[in-house]
Amino acid sequence: MRPLRRGSRDKIISAGLATAACVGLVGVIGVRTVTASAATEVAATSTATTTSGLTQADLDAYAAQLLQQSVQLDAYRAKLIQLSKSVTTGSAATSPTPAKAAPKPAPKPIAKPAPVAKPAPVAKPAPASKPASTTKSS
């Protein structure tokens, strides 16, 4: 038997499959290259930073400062609450004894303001009369 002749349709299918295989191979190589480069970048930057450039250690230190300040503010608030309770109950044991108040001086009488003289109105000068023409007309 003789081999069958290949038609143009078979040639088009063969060329399409070869092209698809090449494009697929290039795609796989590209994906692997990108993955490998991303892995090397992650390894190069071993310390994680935020967008503002702070590291995790910086953020942890800041959180510890905030916690310490929160404890101080809570203690101050408790002290203020205790002081306000002692003031409202009138407890003299916790508040210092106030010094004798100095006698108030007698209020000064309020003087009425003196009237201010208004300036006399100034008359406006009268408009000047038009001078006579000194040129001769013909």
* Strand, coil or helix: 19: helix
Q: Give CA–CA dist 68/72, Å, rounded.
A: 6
Yes or no: say if 55 and 47 are a contact pair by the CB < 8 Å rule. Answer: yes
Number of H helices, E strands in the chain: 2, 0
pLDDT in tens, 32-86: 888 888 877 766 665 666 677 788 888 899 999 999 999 999 999 999 999 988 8
pLDDT in tens, 113-131: 666 666 666 677 666 666 6
Q: Confidence band (pLDDT; 50, 70, 90) for 94?
A: very low
pTM, entire model: 0.31
* Strand, coil or helix: 48: coil
Name the nearest CA neighbour of 76 among 88, 84, 86: 84
Q: What are the boundaries of each domain within the chain? A: 9-46, 49-90
Percent of the chain predicted with pLDDT > 90: 14
Q: Give CA–CA dist 61/91, Å, rounded.
A: 43
